[in-house]
């Protein structure tokens, strides 16, 4: 009986026209009991894939049947999703379909480079395409909603989640955020090949103190407004359907219970009318934060602070009904949240057809399509950053033998990276495979593992143990190094050394890898260090001694092919860093857009200035750094003041011998303002292709809005005066002009 009733309501709803979306949601809302409403606000992780600590032990099956769950996460595969959807639609009184969510971060089954790597491509079209393909594959397998993009700005490479973001810069982070939202959501959310996106983690999560995940964040309002919030605002402007709370507190106020942040900024100021989901039990964790005494108070606080859906914690379903019934909470707050959730379901087309995303033919045609693997290869090549290339050691030329050494050289798993959705373990093209495929038998390739990197389970749920003792592979490595023209040392971090809960205090090469590298260096200095890692590393010895260093991050399914293309010169690298590499962990946080302070750092020998006594003041590799196989020369920077904007032009010449792409960067410095402004702020980027001997004139425009910032009253203002305008190849290699702009 129930089932028939469920369907009949659904069919009645289906008759409405799209313009009647609100009526439809309202009429559904009117039929719901209080318990059913709160059920819509309840989200459970289902199935064996946990992406956090195990949650409440409620009778979940009955809750699904009774319409007391509105969303399921981590259920994989259209067949299982259909079963659960059928249960809910057919058994629950109103048959309101679930919305299915998953962390689709950098690909679904076809895995793309980790987002930090992609951000180093400086190619928004490619980034959008990568998200598009991830959405297509996930949606074809039954998912409706991804918990991405993560748009947290971070200045701390100890924080493992930097792999999920776009680096340290709010301008670039904002453009990437919008591109990824567009990619996931496409033109129309009801298209069964799109996903609702989720801008996370709102807010300040990337500023976790000491880079320790889940830690408190100390962020002043000015920094919050000017550095942390812009990418979220941009995601909102790009119409992201949802946001997610963050775990951290900011200055003592946990984000999940922060009324100012959510109600005032996100909802009122930015007019976000989509769904705000908590992070994994971040509602219940308000008790641990010490701002409420129990889960009931936590639920009330989170709801009042604007949280619509409770992920995995069962706090809302266990507590909100009682709170409304005893008069502590107005039902209208619940109605508002449910309205937003039903609108999301409506926009995804789920109220029209709960099975819209479930089509095995579509899944077979789309997931792991060969074009997706090609796109992943393209993105991987673009994401590689050539950090150092002394004596043009790369691309390889005139060699007859190479050695490939290191625990990651044959590793098919590390490139898949953390947050791999349904990317299969050990499924990437390894470095070794890529090189062998590329070089064939033209060059002799000797291999030695050298040392192990991790011991025990290497997965999302376990702590990784790093091998520290076993040097038995060293002699073999030295032997192959000695007899080879060039040595490739493939070193770095395994996949699960970055990502959630993977904070490190020492961000050098883990385990015995540096020691191995130093031993190999004693017998053959002709080394290309190929790094695979999920965060900037601290590698001062390597930078000082190894002639060539290639940052390949965790590059996804086609990693080895992409790296081989760069190594032989079939692809000319053009990636540039979006996060600074420190010389020592003591420099962290280190970032290019710092303020000058009253005692600015400088190169003189006087002591009473800002500095560390024991380390050079500069980063090891600065923001924007990245080499090419050709060279570029910048000249003729011209800044013209027009009525309402500045027009900036610069000539960029390719002075090398091969065609290359260059990322041209525009920075500004507001010389005098009511609050101290950064010494440099990125404000424009152009990626250009220039032929050898050729030259291009690159043009930018800056409006007053581009030069505005949040003042102490939190107003977004333009303050007239002198601005330094700089254009160049990285944050430390610039031509500069000063102009007056009133």
Q: So which residues are the catalytic ones?
A: 279
Q: Kindly tell me which of 107 and 406 has the beta carbon lying closer to ligand NOJ.
A: 107
Count, residues near ligand NOJ per rule CB under 6 A: 8
- φ and ψ of 681, to 5 deg: -140, 125
* Smallest separation (angstroms) from ligand NOJ to the CB of 372: 23
The CB-of-49 to ligand NOJ minimum distance in angstroms stands at 9
- DSSP for 355-407, please give it: TTT--HHHHHHHTT-HHHHHHHHHHHHHH-EEEEEGGG--S--S-SEEEEEST
In whole angstroms, give the CA distance from residue 116 to residue 535.
8
Q: Quick one: 101 or 562, whose CB is closer to ligand NOJ?
A: 101
Whole-angstrom CA distances from 73 to 95, 97, 408 are 19, 14, 32
Q: Residue 705 CB: number of other CB atoms within 10 A?
A: 10
Quote the CA–CA distance of 645 and 17 in Å, as a whole number: 45
Distance CA 84, CA 102 (A): 15
Rounded Cα gap, residues 193 and 142, in angstroms? 9
Q: Which is nearer to ligand NOJ, 200 or 289 (CB)?
A: 200
Residues of this chain, 59-98, that bind ligand NOJ according to CB under 6 A = none
281 or 376: CB nearest ligand NOJ: 281
Looking at the Cβ atoms of 307 and 580, the one nearer to ligand NOJ is: 307
Tokens of 226: 């000017």
We find the least distance from the C-beta atom of residue 481 to ligand NOJ, in angstroms, to be 41
Peptide bond between residue 395 and the one before it cis (omega within 30 degrees of 0): yes
Minimum Å gap between C-beta 200 and ligand NOJ is: 5
Q: Closer CB to ligand NOJ, residue 137 or residue 279? A: 279
Of 51 and 596, nearer to ligand NOJ (C-beta) is 51
362 interacts with ligand NOJ by CB under 6 A: no
Write down the least CB distance from residue 471 to ligand NOJ, Å: 37
Q: Which residue number, 195 or 666, has a Cβ lying nearer to ligand NOJ?
A: 195
CA 452, CA 441: separation in Å to the nearest integer? 28
Q: Find the shortest distance in angstroms from Cβ 310 to ligand NOJ.
A: 13
Tokens of 636: 């003729």
The footprint of ligand NOJ on residues 468-497 (CB under 6 A) is none
Query: Helices 78-91 and 2-14, interaxial angle, to 10°?
Result: 100
| CA 471 and chain centroid, separation | 36
Q: What's the rounded Cα separation, in Å, for the pair 291 and 304?
A: 14
Tokens standing for residue 595: 């303020």
DSSP-derived pairing of the beta strands 198-202 and 242-245:
parallel
Q: Work out how close the CB of 79 gets to ligand NOJ at its nearest, in angstroms, rounded to a whole number.
A: 22
For 478-541, give the DSSP string: HHHHHT-SEEEEEEE--GGGSSTT---S--SS-TTHHHHHHHHHHH---EEEEEE-SS----HH
The pair of structure tokens assigned to 93 is 């009184």
Convert 305-333 to b/e letters by CB count within 10 Å (16 or more is b): bbbbbbbbbbbbbbbbbebbeeeebeeeb
Rounded Cα distance, 163 and 507, in Å: 14
Question: Smaller CB distance to ligand NOJ: residue 69 or 646?
Answer: 69
Q: Figure out which of the listed residues 68, 123, 141, 279 binds ligand NOJ, where binding follows CB under 6 A.
A: 279
Q: DSSP secondary-structure letter at 614?
A: T
Kindly tell me which of 165 and 492 has the beta carbon lying closer to ligand NOJ: 165
Q: 648 forms bridges with which residues in the sheet?
A: 639, 700
Between residues 51 and 618, which has the closer beta carbon with respect to ligand NOJ? 51
Closest approach, Cβ 205 to ligand NOJ, in A, equals 8
- Output 50 or 615, the one with its CB closest to ligand NOJ: 50
Q: How far is the CB of 338 from ligand NOJ (least distance, A)?
A: 22
> What residues form DSSP beta bridges with 666?
684, 727
Helices (H), 211-294: 221-223, 230-237, 259, 285-289
Among 39, 52, 107, 192, binds ligand NOJ (CB under 6 A): 52
Q: Residue 278 CB, nearest distance to ligand NOJ (Å)?
A: 10
Interface residue with ligand NOJ, options 168, 500, 542, 561 (CB under 6 A)? 500
- Closest CB to ligand NOJ among residues 280, 710: 280
Which one of residues 68, 103, 128, 285 is an interface residue with ligand NOJ (CB under 6 A)?
A: 103
Supply the DSSP symbol for 210.
G
Q: Using CA atoms, how far apart are residues 268 and 190, in angstroms rounded to an integer? A: 27
- At which residue do the structure tokens 């102490």 appear? 712
Q: Convert residues 289-308 into a mask of x (bound to ligand NOJ by CB under 6 A) and - (unbound).
A: --------------------
Phi, psi at residue 639, to the nearest 5°? -120, 120
| Total number of residues shown for the chain | 742
Token pair, residue 704, equals 């007053």
Q: Residue 280 interacts with ligand NOJ (CB under 6 A)?
A: yes
The 695-703 sheet, strands edge to edge: 632-641, 645-654, 695-703
- Residue 576 three-state SS: coil
Site residues for ligand NOJ, window 107-166 (CB under 6 A)? 147
**Site for ligand NOJ (CB under 6 A): which residue of 37, 136, 200, 438?**
200
Least separation in angstroms between CB 100 and ligand NOJ: 13
The only residue of 51, 190, 711, 736 in contact with ligand NOJ, by rule CB under 6 A: 51
CA 397 to CA 405: how far, in whole Å?
19
What x-and-dash track marks residues 317-356 binding ligand NOJ by CB under 6 A? ----------------------------------------
Q: Smallest Cα–Cα separation from 226: which of 645, 588, 681?
A: 681
The residue number with the shortest CB distance to ligand NOJ is: 51
CB of 50 to ligand NOJ, least distance (A): 8
Q: Given the DSSP bridges, would you call strands 645-654 and 660-670 parallel, antiparallel or unpaired?
A: unpaired
Least distance in Å: CB of 255 to ligand NOJ? 12
d(CA 694, CA 4): 71
Q: Does 420 bind ligand NOJ (CB under 6 A)?
A: no
Residues that bind ligand NOJ (CB under 6 A): 51-52, 103, 147, 200, 279-280, 500
């Amino acid at each position: 009986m129930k089932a028939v009733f469920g369907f009949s309501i659904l069919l009645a709803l289906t008759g409405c026209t799209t313009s009647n979306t609100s009526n439809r949601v309202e009429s559904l809302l009117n039929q719901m009991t209080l318990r059913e409403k709160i059920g819509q606000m309840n989200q459970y992780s289902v199935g064996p894939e946990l992406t956090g600590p195990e949650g409440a032990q409620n009778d979940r099956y009955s809750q699904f049947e009774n319409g007391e769950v509105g969303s399921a996460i981590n259920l994989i595969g259209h067949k299982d999703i259909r079963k659960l959807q059928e249960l809910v639609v057919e058994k629950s009184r109103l048959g309101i379909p679930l919305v299915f969510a998953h962390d689709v971060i950098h690909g679904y089954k076809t895995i793309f480079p980790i987002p930090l790597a992609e951000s180093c491509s400086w190619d928004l079209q490619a980034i959008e395409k990568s998200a598009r393909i991830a959405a297509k594959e996930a949606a074809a397998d039954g998912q409706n909603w991804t918990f991405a993009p993560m748009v947290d700005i971070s200045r701390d490479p100890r924080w493992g989640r930097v792999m999920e973001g776009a680096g340290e810069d709010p301008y670039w982070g904002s453009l990437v955020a919008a591109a990824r939202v567009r990619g996931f959501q496409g033109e129309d959310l009801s298209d069964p090949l799109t996903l609702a996106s989720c801008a996370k983690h709102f807010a300040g999560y990337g500023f976790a103190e000491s880079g320790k995940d889940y830690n408190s964040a100390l962020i002043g309002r000015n920094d919050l407004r000017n550095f942390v919030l812009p990418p979220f605002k941009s995601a909102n402007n790009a119409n992201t359907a949802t946001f997610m709370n963050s775990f951290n507190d900011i200055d003592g106020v946990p984000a999940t219970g922060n009324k100012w942040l959510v109600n005032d900024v996100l909802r009122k100021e930015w007019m976000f009318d989509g769904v705000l989901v908590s992070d994994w039990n971040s509602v219940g964790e308000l008790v641990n934060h010490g701002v409420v005494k129990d889960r009931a108070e936590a639920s009330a606080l989170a709801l009042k602070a604007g949280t619509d859906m409770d992920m995995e914690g069962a706090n809302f379903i266990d507590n909100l009904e009682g709170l409304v019934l005893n008069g502590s909470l107005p039902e209208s707050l619940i109605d508002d949240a449910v309205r937003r959730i039903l609108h999301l379901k409506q926009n995804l087309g789920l109220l029209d057809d709960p099975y819209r995303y479930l089509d095995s033919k579509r899944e077979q045609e789309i997931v792991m399509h060969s074009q997706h693997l090609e796109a992943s290869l393209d993105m991987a090549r673009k994401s590689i950053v050539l950090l150092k290339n002394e004596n043009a050691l790369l691309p390889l030329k005139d060699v007859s033998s190479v050695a490939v050494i290191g625990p990651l050289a044959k590793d098919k798993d590390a490139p898949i990276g953390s947050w791999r959705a349904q990317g299969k373990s050990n499924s990437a093209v390894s470095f070794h495979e890529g090189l062998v495929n590329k070089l064939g038998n033209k060059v002799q390739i000797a291999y030695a593992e050298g040392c192990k990197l991790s011991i025990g389970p290497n997965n999302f749920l376990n702590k990784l143990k790093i091998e520290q003792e076993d040097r038995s592979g060293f002699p073999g490595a030295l032997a192959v190094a000695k007899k080879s023209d060039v040595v490739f040392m493939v070193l770095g971090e395994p996949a699960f050394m970055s990502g959630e809960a993977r904070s490190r205090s020492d961000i050098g090469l883990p385990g015995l890898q540096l020691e191995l590298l130093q031993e190999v260096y004693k017998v053959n200095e002709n080394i290309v260090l190929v790094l695979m890692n999920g965060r900037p590393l601290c590698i001062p010895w390597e930078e000082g001694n190894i002639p060539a260093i290639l940052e390949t991050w965790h590059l996804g399914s086609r990693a080895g092919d992409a790296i081989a293309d760069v190594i032989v010169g079939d692809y000319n690298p053009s990636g540039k860093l979006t996060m600074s590499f420190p010389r020592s962990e003591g420099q962290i946080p280190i970032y290019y857009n710092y303020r000058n302070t009253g005692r600015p750092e400088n190169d003189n020998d006087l002591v009473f200035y800002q500095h560390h006594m024991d380390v050079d003041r500069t980063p090891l590799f600065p923001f924007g750094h990245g080499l090419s196989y050709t060279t570029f020369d910048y000249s003729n920077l011209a800044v013209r003041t027009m009525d309402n904007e500045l027009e900036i032009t610069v000539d960029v010449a390719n002075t090398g011998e091969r065609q290359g792409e260059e990322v041209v960067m525009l920075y500004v410095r507001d010389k005098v303002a009511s609050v101290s402004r950064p010494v440099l702020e990125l404000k424009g980027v152009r990626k250009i292709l220039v032929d050898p001997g050729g030259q291009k004139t690159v043009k930018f425009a800056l409006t007053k809005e581009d030069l505005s910032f949040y003042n102490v009253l939190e107003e977004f203002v333009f303050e007239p005066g002198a601005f330094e305008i700089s254009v160049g190849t990285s944050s430390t290699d610039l031509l500069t002009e000063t102009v007056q702009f009133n």
